[in-house]
Structure 1
């Protein structure tokens, strides 16, 4: 017998009471405002590009490793399930989850670090701000406005899903947020909706689990080395006891599946406890709570800290990963410097954008061009620019 979803929580966002869009539009006849936002994200070009953007591994290193696209889909699935279980608006949670990585450059964290380095004298680079710029400015597909003209609640969730950001407005890399907020207030001093917080925790759940999965598949560490790691260790031991004769691949997948379940159960229990203790009666109560509503328990936070320490030592700092990161940084650095000194080698559309700008403005155009690249395109573009045997 199928379970019955819980009633809508009093602190859930109500699409019928959305604060609307910066540019007013007629409502859809078939979708709520939040579902419409989701569809706009799915159909936008930056979302499609996520299929060849990576986090740890580069796209060409294997077909089975997660990309930003598969990661975003996993985050969206977890966010929708958690939001439904908590009586929240699942469309809004899913929408924010799908959008959260749109601003990431190629080559994962290595690419972000290099663009931050190259932009240090020109206003900086922050992938969360870049995501916001993508959905409010850079994506151009509508005749009446730049960006996707998403609802206030989605924009709030995109930029505030990890908590208040008012103090970040002093950073040069956050100037785009400050300018937008001056025209269209997003309440940057408060917490985001419960749905946005769900999307943030779903991101944590997804990447902790798929990094374990991908790390084992890549041969960076063996599955049995995880037996001494909190959270995953006891779960893995239980799977080995129940299925002593099952092949390692199935053992790995079953352990990851159970760890996702354990983390989801922990979030649900802790969030319900906090909601009951706070006596929340409206979405604004969530924003004014003074701390996160959606959260892991203290024990789970400690266990995840030890798991992340293991992954940092055995995966993120592995010499093979370091070598890939080094190559990625050089590719982006060389392209950035070339485009800055010779902007006429940029594609025509981007060259036109770079004209009649000061050095900082030209750097931002170059940064936007590079940040939008996929891993594969960045590698190919670098070859076209720096290898004489490649002319097309």
Structure 2
């Protein structure tokens, strides 16, 4: 005989939730004691631990000041209670490889939540609102910017992370920070600045994002930068040349040893691709540079477009486009979760180190990966290489290269705050020509920092101030 279902009262349900929370906290505290014991520095080791100090930059690389980190010695119940549900292969705050400068642990947040919050409150993050994704910011109020792109990446990444039981806060921090080093005018600005810096170590926007959070942000009395955790910084550094990796210490090892980053960094990486492929289709259609007729040959688009039109025959225009894109994003996310879950079940990683030693775990299925690649190729051919986009890119390149040449020819044109950061002001005082006696490599890098931090409209205004004669 089948037993009747017993529905608990509100008081019983509340008691059950309280008991579950209590068990989670006890489990977290037990794990915390174990980790704390593991990370405790023995007395005879204390004197050998190197102290992190800031050193002046005297080369022309984009190398952060130091890659030494302080491990966390204080374990808070809060971090374990908030992360007790995570899988063994997820990144845990208490097991982080630490920060570059020693700090007291947060009271009501995990270490990765602290990272996320610092990024959101940074100056570089606010500037993303006025930096180009594909279309220059002033061309339309509804086109994506670097800021809206970063928010969409974070939303997608958190959805995936939650389903895989990995650290949502770390995923979000990486997602929000991954474009902080991008130049004005998108990839056109980056290409122009990289060409200007060809004789001075080049320019990589991923590495510039790291420099922003390590050095250029000025918010805290105890250190330059945001002093983020190793795992967040690792995730920000999506790409890196071998030359630069050699100068990055532990942070560059994975590029030299061909290892993977944390699973959270892998999720943010794929979420980035999902976001820009789909919102670039949306913005491309809105701009009129691509058409529905052209997209009819792209399987991933057409499958969902026909399904949406079949289910909702009365909708059309922008509403039908939004419904189609919503379905594509959902398909890509669900497939990513399912495919990654299969990879995890097959390889069974039991730690973050296992994830690093394994092949890429966060992947789409072969079928969906092929469809996503087809969409990406379509965008490259029909949108990114469209003559109107190329014209905008050419203008952007002229602005960036023009600014760089002007500042490099006469660094006294730089704002005083940037002159004070290097030898420019000191040496220019001895020689009115400035640039001939200043350290060319350091000077060029300071100029690159200044230009990379500009928004689209600020770069245009600065260009106008330098080159446009105002009759008024």
Partners of 1:278 and 1:390 lie apart in 2 by 69
**Which stretch of the first structure deviates more once superposed, 219-228 or 371-380?**
219-228
Matches within 5 A, 1:328-343: 328-343=396-411
Contact 1:135 1:147 in 2 (8 A): yes
> Is 2:442 aligned against 1:361?
yes
Q: Aligned residue for 2:313?
A: 244
The 8 Å contact of residues 93 and 196 in structure 1, kept in 2 or not, is answered as yes
1:65 alignment partner in structure 2: 143
Structure 2 residue aligned with 1:169: 242
Are 2:348 and 1:279 aligned? yes
Cα root mean square deviation, aligned: 1.8
Q: 2:235 aligns with which of 140, 150, 157?
A: 157
Q: Mark the CA change 1:276 to 1:304 in structure 2 (over 3 Å): closer, same or farther.
A: same
Distance (Å, rounded) in 2 between the aligned partners of 1:44 and 1:186? 28
Q: Contact 1:116–1:126 at 8 Å: present in 2 too?
A: yes
Q: Secondary structure at the match of 1:102?
A: coil
State whether residues 152 and 186 of structure 1, in contact with CA within 8 Å, keep that contact through their aligned partners in structure 2: no
Counterpart position of 1:303: 371
Distance (whole Å) between structure 2 residues aligned to residue 36 and residue 308 of structure 1: 35
Tell me whether 53-62 or 303-312 shows the greater mean CA deviation: 303-312
Cα gap change, 1:314/1:185 in structure 2, threshold over 3 Å: closer, same or farther? closer
Question: How far did 1:6 drift?
Answer: 12
What does residue 199 of structure 1 align with?
268
Query: C-alpha separation between the residues in 1 aligned to 2:151 and 2:171?
Result: 12
Question: Which secondary structure state, in structure 2, belongs to the residue aligned with residue 12 of structure 1?
Answer: coil
Report the alpha carbon displacement of residue 178 of structure 1 after superposing the two structures with TM: 4.0
What is the TM-score when the length of structure 2 is the normalising length? 0.77
1:38-57 equivalence runs, <5 A? 38-57=116-135
Aligned to 1:227: 296
Q: Does 2:467 align with 1:386?
A: yes
Residues 127-169 of structure 1: CA deviation (Å, up to 9, x unaligned): 011011111111122122111111111112112x46xx5xx33
Distance 1:180 1:33 in 2: 22
SS of alignment partner, residue 149 of structure 1: coil
Residue 370 (str. 1) matches residue 438 (str. 2): no
Contact 2:183 / 2:451 at 8 angstroms: preserved in 1?
Answer: yes
Does 1:143 find its partner at 2:221? yes
**1:167-202, Cα deviation, whole Å (9 max, x unpaired):** x332xxx2xx544427x7865533111011010011
1:11 aligns with 2:80: no
Considering Cα pairs closer than 8 Å and 6+ residues apart, tell me whether 1 or 2 has the greater RCO: 1
Name 2:172's counterpart in structure 1: 94
CA distance in 2, matches of 1:320, 1:390: 31
Unaligned stretches of 5+ in structure 2?
A: 1-82, 428-437
CA contact under 8 A between 1:6 and 1:84: conserved in structure 2? no
Equivalent residue in structure 2 for 1:217, among 282, 286, 296: 286
Contact 1:6 1:86 in 2 (8 A): no
Per-residue deviation at 1:282?
1.2
- How far the C-alpha of 1:43 sits from its partner, in A, is 0.5
Secondary structure of 1:240 counterpart: helix
Match status 1:269 vs 2:346: no
The answer on 1:314 being equivalent to 2:411 is no
| TM-score normalised by the chain length of structure 1 | 0.92
Partner residue, 2:58 = none
Which sections of structure 1, spanning at least 5 residues, go unmatched? none
Instruction: Determine helix, strand or coil for the equivalent of 1:231.
Output: helix
Q: Kindly tell me the number of residue pairs found equivalent between the two proteins.
A: 375
Q: Deviations over 1:25-60 (max 9, x none)?
A: 001111100000000000010000000001211010
CA spacing shift, 1:260–1:233, aligned 2, 3 Å: same
